[in-house]
Structure 1
Amino acid sequence: MADFSELEAREGVRLSWNVWPNTKLEATKCVLPFAALVTPCKKLQDCPVVPYQPVPCRSCGAVLNPFARVDFPGKLWVCPFCYTRNQFPPHYNAISESNLPAELFPNYSAIDYTIPKPGGPQPPAYIFVVDTCVSEDELDTCKGALLQALGLLPENALVGLVTYGTHVQVHEIGFTECAKSWVFQGSKECDPRKVAHQLGLNRGGPGQQQRDHPGAGHQGGSAQPGLGRFLLPLSEGEFVLSDLLENLHVDSFQAPIDKRAARCTGTALQVATALAGACLTPGGSATRIMLFVGGPATVGSGSVVQREKTEAIRSHKDLVKDQAPFFQKATQFYESLAHQLVLQGHTLDVFACALDQVGLAEMKPAIERTGGMVALAESYHHQTFKDSLRQIFLKDEDGLNICSHGTVEVFCSKDIKVSGCVGPCAPLDKKSPLVSENTVGMGGTTVWRLCSLSESTTLCVFFDIVGNKEGPQDAAAMMASQQFFMQFQVKYTTLQGEARMRVITLTRHWTDGGNVQDLLAGFDQEASAVIMARLLSSKMEAEEEFNATRWLDRALIRMCSRFGDYRTEDPTSFQLSPQMSIYPQFMFNLRRSQFVQVFNNSPDETAYFRMVLCCEDAFNSLVMIQPTLTSYSFNGPPEPALLDVASIAADSILLLDAFFQVVVFHGSTIAQWRKAKYQDRPEHAAFSQLLKTPMEDAAEIIKGRFPVPRLVDCDQHGSQARFLLAKLNPSSTYNSSGAGGSAEVIMTDDVSLQVFMDHLRKLAVAPS
């Protein structure tokens, strides 16, 4: 149990607790939630791909796995979840102890099945929705990035273009005689059926448009009349689409100097969603609606601010005081859009490139529930935008290898129920006896839909222990030796269009809740920190007047009081076991992080940070909570450094990976030498190499990460040094005597980790 990352490499799952108490009462005493971080498409060790269908249990639906009891002579297997006896199908007749199918091998706790897909693989579809209410320079850069993206798409990919400003324009790519577009009024709400009717896309219609456009017969004939008109394979429509993009101009309805541009983002997304729904069959092509937006929506559905510049866009303070008149209505609009997109199985990606806010906080439901990608930058010129867009389309190891049309279903042993899920998914209305009354996140079901998922997409599934084992000691001892089981069934379509089903089955054991050492041996402090961060983000979004810092502190104090080793009212005697010793430090950094502290961040930025946290795997999430720091000097090879102001030295370089930013920080002496160009002299080759190494390591970190982090190259005492100082433990501040002899002092009133731990010890050892 020591290295939980090894289990994750085999199973793709990390549990907060790997040993569970056998009663509800003892589970409550554990304070921290019982949950699993499931990464459905993670590349696993020892995960075979088999070319046949799984064998499900006829009673509960769980799939045959290594923990099933097998009666070889009788050709029967017993489901470990519901104890039902199942007959093997006829093609398993040759099964024996020496001739096992792959799913019964003990080391194959995760296995991939290839499922035949009717109609064969379907090409992906991309609808680009482009905001034209930006400057000419910005629009040119956006157009350039889109033209580059077209070059990375497969030839058979379906592409479409919607542009918007004051009005929405749907471009008919299949009409080659001249540029032809269908215009919708931006200030009016668009019903999907009316949009389809106005575009001539009513299903089951007379089919006149197919006769007019011979290309429309591709991918489904009369059932999909928009193909060949508004959506075309890239090989056929690339010339027209490139021409449309190159000739795209800024919105002709220019705004007066005292008003914001009339931008109908919500209406444009409604039209694009209706277009995708009318042209493509649900569950067919992997469809992405990609929004490129350069400012806030001011007209039509989903508006977030008035056009008058005298009215400021909402801030966190306005949201708390209920002084954001557009927020509630816009959020409800995007929730209804999310519902429509999930029904169609389509994904919304947002590239928000503006100095001002664009309304990302309101769009959050539509992005999150469809598993969409989101990138936030100050401008289309920013490298974060250009590189993040490329990442989505790259097909080799540098790309994200995005899968589509995913569902995740959870099965578990009796005495365990499913409370809910927090992550980039939407609940499906499947009732089950496994559903708990206590709802966390998206609950009330054991099945969730993922319209889009990458190799790092991770769901956080919460469980409720409902066992109530009262009785004699021998019964408790018998229970303690028993195992419990979980199974995650993941269905998805790969980037190549192949239908797969991954079945992950894992087992852990029960213990008597009074056996603290047994519980501690199975505690995963890294996974628990990430799970608490997700739960906290979910509560901050859902619960009004929720005090996040107080909630975190109370949970930490109760946990330390329960699992710490101490004498009552003696803080100096307090100790935590190694399995839990770093957890308070994670909580200290989580309290100070951008997920909890909204000061100096806009609602859009906060929504962006929380969206990324709630879809990344355990490792990446932990980097967001507690960044990693590496020190480079002449004294030896690079080595990990404490995330503390004391780590700053004049003659060293620090590399900080905070996920959203990667900072290369040069000490004052190194910075002076660099300015004096010592690195260009042959006799200072070692110094030249010292400067290069952290930059090369930073480039390696950035490669393959989405969204692409911002690279900050700064010097000690420089203005951009704030990116590093904000993440460090302020052990030496302007009002302290200093710690560790560091020359650097942080101008902050935040408490240091030492003060935080002193208070924690004092409160943990107090009489309950």
Structure 2
Amino acid sequence: MAEFLDLEAHDGIRMPWNVFPGTKQEAASCVVPVSAIYTPLKPFPNMPVLPYSPLRCRTCRSVLNPFSTVDYMGQIWICPFCFQRNHFPPHYASISQDNLPPDLFPQYTTIEYEAPTDKTAVPPVFLFVVDTCIIEEELGFLKSALLQAIDLVPDDSLVGFITFGTYVHVHELGFGLIPKTYVFKGSKEISQDQILEHMKFFAKKPKPITGVTSASGPRDGLTAESIARFLLPASECEFALTSVLEELQKDPWPVQADQRAIRCTSTALSVATSLLGACVPGSGARIMAFIGGPSTEGPGAIVSKSLSEPIRSHKDLDKDSAPFYQKAVKFYEALSKQLVNQGHVLDLFVCALDQVGLAELKVAVERTGGLVVLAESFGHSIFKDSLKRIFQSTESNSYNLGLSFNGIFEINCSKDIKIQGVIGPCASLERKGPLCSETVVGQGNTNAWKMCGLDKATSLCLLFEIAKRDGVDAIGQPTNNQFYLQFLTYYQHNNGQMRLRATTLSRRWVAGPGSVQELIAGFDQEAAAVVMTRLVSLKMETEVEFDPIQWLDKSLIRLCSRFGDYQKDRPSTFSLSPRFSIFPQFMFHLRRSQFVQIFNNSPDETAYFRMILYRENVSNSVVMIQPSLISYTLQKDPEPALLDVAAIGADRILLLDSYFTVVIFHGMTIAQWRNAGYQDLPEHKAFAQLLQDPRDDADAILKERFPVTRLVICDQYGSQAVRRNQQRLIPHMRSGCRRITQLLGG
């Protein structure tokens, strides 16, 4: 796998097939789709950022790249995608083979541009939307976490504050000494015009006849003074916001013993979206919603107020017996379109023991590239540490998220390849062209996607279709065996400036009798497992009566029959190339994973798992599919262990990483020595180091991930609670398969 990891380290991309099957029929017989997992903003230490605009092909708009053919005498470059001849501008007059611009350096297949502009960098906007229908203890935890987060918000960032319960309260932070809020009824749908009029945006200026919202400025008729009442720089509103938080109380409306709290989550999010759409359209902005229970009021309600009616389950959704579900999903789909048009992000921080409607909200979070955190309490470290990590700067933390805004992702490719779609946190811009396939998967029918929010870990699954015939291209012209892909990502960097990152790749076709061996040599089984996981999750969400187990089994059988060596009717002769040997193990674990087996998970939990899967890179996704287990003993260095109860030993420590949970498990003898305090004695430094090593490795895992992973530390036979954790986390993986994913950079 080393060569594939090198490709990812150089360009941020992993492909199941690193050579492509030469025809559409051969691609279909390969079972695993022709695809790629691409991380648009993966950090590269040596990648240059060029202080000028890129050269674009005048026909296909691709960017000048190392694969372009250059005529130095004629000052012309030929686009490798459409073969258009383009003239270099005058400032490239000195170009020669010995004097190349960085765009043409062979090693710079990924490069960034940041053209100087006269425009002032636009600061990001953070609009906090806080649920007050929670118990006093939870509200205290939430207020404490928000006060810490506000201290970390960049001083030039604009901040707004909304609370909701039975009613929605928009707080005016520029009020001076007198607190002032604008109240909206939670059960009523409110238009943007009604919101603006109610909040006195046009008090000193006549309301415009037509409400026109510019992509680069506030709605016509709004003044900077009126906007500054609700969105202020963090440095100017810190005192006002702190005062509001300190005085914040639980929703005062009484709740009967047999009733749920009246919570208008959907109305609050609608008001927040309309407020940002009027004030800062087209600017980088995030709605950060903190939710502590199910929505029972408004168009996005998921359950009635009566406690006698349970919240919908997977069984209810399958039988179409969840009366609120379709209406709520339809509302949030409309809200997601509004957010995408404005270029704004919806982040969710869900802390509750019950479901809150994450399954319905999923569409709005995913299409805007939002973050999601799920925990039992606002006092839990998962929530507090995750919230803190969002605002940590690069200088103070090497594991910062690198939040960016307003992204647009485009694909250019050779004409023999068509784009089926993208599975990941983005929304289609419906820019259909000759590169678009008739077969749509995920967000398709386009070659450009909106990514309102993205960070350095955001990854997209790109699916392609082979459109060429053997020996000729789609229009009957002879072809060579080389083709090209280019990924363009426009985004607002966290310094406020707009950048363009261009990644250009070259791969080759293989066809004929020897193609099977070449396909095997270029097969990345980790990337293939992740693509299949995203694909089966998407099919479970979108296809009625889809059987994931049968589909996975048939896919594995077809793959093995295509690439395995065997003699007919003699099963003992079957063998797979080492390039394919662990792929069946991935499928074994995938069949039993939380992505396929939804039993004992709520719709909210399933939605959460899939949202995290859809945005993570290959390495982390593989750990979600097949957890890793590392054994620590005094006799030898840490080593991978079997994912089986046989790995448990009295004299060893186990570190289990299933991505969502990290478990440090101490054997009985180790726990007894630790309880006796041997690690504190000078002659037992080796034992002290043995105890510390898994903690250090676990801390490294926790620091690299968002949301922060749950950490469980337990002892063999320690308590009933520990036994439950053992039963849930260790025997759950009784496959006898070896650990095949590398952790901790090893």
Residue 597 of structure 2 aligns to which amino acid in structure 1?
Q
Q: How does 1:706-721 map to 2 (within 5 A)?
A: 706-717=706-717, 718=719, 719-721=721-723
Deviates more, 1:718-727 or 1:442-451: 718-727
The offset of 1:200, in angstroms, is 2.7
Instruction: Tell me what 1:438 maps to.
Output: 439
Listed as ranges, the gaps of 5+ residues in structure 2 are 209-216, 739-746
Query: What secondary structure is seen at the aligned counterpart in 2 of 1:492?
Result: strand
Q: How does 1:63-212 map to 2 (within 5 A)?
A: 63-201=63-201, 205-206=205-206
Are the counterparts in 1 of residues 291 and 351 from structure 2 also a CA contact under 8 Å? yes
Are the counterparts in 2 of residues 427 and 447 from structure 1 also a CA contact under 8 Å? yes
Distance change in 2, residues 1:207/1:34 (3 Å): same
Residue 634 of structure 2 aligns to which amino acid in structure 1?
F
CA distance in 2, matches of 1:158, 1:349: 16
Q: How does 1:341-356 map to 2 (within 5 A)?
A: 341-356=339-354
Distance change in 2, residues 1:204/1:324 (3 Å): farther
Residue 143 of structure 2 aligns to which amino acid in structure 1?
K
Residue 363 of structure 2 aligns to which amino acid in structure 1?
P
Q: How does 1:562-581 map to 2 (within 5 A)?
A: 562-581=562-581
CA distance in 1, matches of 2:389, 2:729: 27
CA distance in 2, matches of 1:650, 1:634: 12
The offset of 1:550, in angstroms, is 1.1
- 1:368 matches 2:366: yes
Instruction: Tell me what 1:649 maps to.
Output: 649
Query: What secondary structure is seen at the aligned counterpart in 1 of 2:364?
Result: helix
The offset of 1:295, in angstroms, is 0.2
The offset of 1:470, in angstroms, is 6.3
Are the counterparts in 1 of residues 262 and 305 from structure 2 also a CA contact under 8 Å? yes
Deviation per residue, 1:123-150 (Å, 9 max, x gap): 1111110000001111011001000001
Query: What secondary structure is seen at the aligned counterpart in 1 of 2:697?
Result: helix
The offset of 1:203, in angstroms, is 12
The offset of 1:676, in angstroms, is 3.9
CA distance in 2, matches of 1:502, 1:426: 19
1:386 aligned to which of 384, 387, 393: 384
Distance change in 2, residues 1:222/1:278 (3 Å): closer
The offset of 1:518, in angstroms, is 0.7
The offset of 1:725, in angstroms, is 4.9
Instruction: Tell me what 1:250 maps to.
Output: 250
The offset of 1:220, in angstroms, is 11
Are the counterparts in 2 of residues 201 and 225 from structure 1 also a CA contact under 8 Å? no
Residue 420 of structure 1 aligns to which amino acid in structure 2?
G
CA distance in 1, matches of 2:187, 2:724: 43
Instruction: Tell me what 1:293 maps to.
Output: 291
Q: How does 1:474-513 map to 2 (within 5 A)?
A: 479=479, 482-512=481-511
CA distance in 2, matches of 1:364, 1:202: 35
Instruction: Tell me what 2:635 maps to.
Output: 635
Deviation per residue, 1:105-130 (Å, 9 max, x gap): 11111111113345221111111100
Residue 228 of structure 2 aligns to which amino acid in structure 1?
G
Residue 362 of structure 1 aligns to which amino acid in structure 2?
E
RMSD after superposition: 2.3
Query: What secondary structure is seen at the aligned counterpart in 1 of 2:251?
Result: coil
Deviation per residue, 1:532-568 (Å, 9 max, x gap): 1111111111111111111111101100010001111
Deviation per residue, 1:342-388 (Å, 9 max, x gap): 11111111000001111101000011111111000000111000000
The offset of 1:670, in angstroms, is 1.8
CA distance in 1, matches of 2:409, 2:219: 28
Distance change in 2, residues 1:198/1:518 (3 Å): same
The offset of 1:621, in angstroms, is 1.0
Instruction: Tell me what 1:411 maps to.
Output: 412
The offset of 1:43, in angstroms, is 1.1
State the percentage of identical aligned residues. Answer: 53
CA distance in 2, matches of 1:448, 1:43: 21
Query: What secondary structure is seen at the aligned counterpart in 2 of 1:251?
Result: coil
**TM-score (normalizing by structure 2):** 0.93
Deviation per residue, 1:422-471 (Å, 9 max, x gap): 00011102121000001010100010111111111001110000112268
Deviation per residue, 1:595-624 (Å, 9 max, x gap): 111111111111001000000111111111
Distance change in 2, residues 1:725/1:530 (3 Å): farther
Are the counterparts in 1 of residues 643 and 736 from structure 2 also a CA contact under 8 Å? no
Query: What secondary structure is seen at the aligned counterpart in 2 of 1:115?
Result: coil
Instruction: Tell me what 2:459 maps to.
Output: 458
Deviates more, 1:323-332 or 1:678-687: 678-687
Are the counterparts in 2 of residues 645 and 730 from structure 1 also a CA contact under 8 Å? no
Distance change in 2, residues 1:44/1:513 (3 Å): farther
Are the counterparts in 1 of residues 642 and 736 from structure 2 also a CA contact under 8 Å? no
Residue 498 of structure 1 aligns to which amino acid in structure 2?
Q
CA distance in 2, matches of 1:385, 1:279: 29
CA distance in 2, matches of 1:328, 1:204: 42
Residue 332 of structure 1 aligns to which amino acid in structure 2?
K
CA distance in 2, matches of 1:508, 1:76: 24
Query: What secondary structure is seen at the aligned counterpart in 2 of 1:137?
Result: helix
Deviates more, 1:641-650 or 1:497-506: 641-650
Distance change in 2, residues 1:560/1:504 (3 Å): same
Are the counterparts in 1 of residues 218 and 279 from structure 2 also a CA contact under 8 Å? no
Instruction: Tell me what 1:326 maps to.
Output: 324
CA distance in 2, matches of 1:708, 1:499: 29
Query: What secondary structure is seen at the aligned counterpart in 1 of 2:637?
Result: strand
Deviation per residue, 1:663-682 (Å, 9 max, x gap): 10111222233344443445
The offset of 1:256, in angstroms, is 0.5
CA distance in 2, matches of 1:115, 1:223: 30
The offset of 1:226, in angstroms, is 4.0
Are the counterparts in 1 of residues 598 and 606 from structure 2 also a CA contact under 8 Å? yes
Query: What secondary structure is seen at the aligned counterpart in 2 of 1:635?
Result: coil
Distance change in 2, residues 1:516/1:724 (3 Å): farther
Residue 172 of structure 1 aligns to which amino acid in structure 2?
E
Query: What secondary structure is seen at the aligned counterpart in 1 of 2:230?
Result: coil
Q: How many residues align?
A: 722
Are the counterparts in 2 of residues 9 and 45 from structure 1 also a CA contact under 8 Å? no
Are the counterparts in 2 of residues 23 and 466 from structure 1 also a CA contact under 8 Å? yes
Deviates more, 1:635-644 or 1:523-532: 635-644
Distance change in 2, residues 1:16/1:438 (3 Å): same
The offset of 1:583, in angstroms, is 0.7
CA distance in 2, matches of 1:182, 1:721: 52
Are the counterparts in 2 of residues 295 and 358 from structure 1 also a CA contact under 8 Å? yes
- 1:447 matches 2:448: yes
CA distance in 2, matches of 1:218, 1:330: 29
Are the counterparts in 2 of residues 334 and 363 from structure 1 also a CA contact under 8 Å? yes
Residue 488 of structure 2 aligns to which amino acid in structure 1?
Q
CA distance in 2, matches of 1:152, 1:462: 39
CA distance in 2, matches of 1:89, 1:430: 29
Instruction: Tell me what 1:425 maps to.
Output: 426
Are the counterparts in 2 of residues 420 and 461 from structure 1 also a CA contact under 8 Å? yes
The offset of 1:201, in angstroms, is 3.1
Are the counterparts in 2 of residues 352 and 375 from structure 1 also a CA contact under 8 Å? yes
CA distance in 2, matches of 1:218, 1:424: 26
Are the counterparts in 2 of residues 224 and 278 from structure 1 also a CA contact under 8 Å? no
Are the counterparts in 1 of residues 642 and 737 from structure 2 also a CA contact under 8 Å? no
Q: How does 1:203-242 map to 2 (within 5 A)?
A: 205-206=205-206, 222-242=222-242
Are the counterparts in 1 of residues 281 and 343 from structure 2 also a CA contact under 8 Å? no
CA distance in 1, matches of 2:430, 2:453: 19
Instruction: Tell me what 1:764 maps to.
Output: none
CA distance in 1, matches of 2:159, 2:733: 54
Deviation per residue, 1:211-234 (Å, 9 max, x gap): xxxxxx999995545432011111
CA distance in 2, matches of 1:275, 1:263: 20
CA distance in 2, matches of 1:513, 1:664: 51
Are the counterparts in 2 of residues 410 and 446 from structure 1 also a CA contact under 8 Å? yes
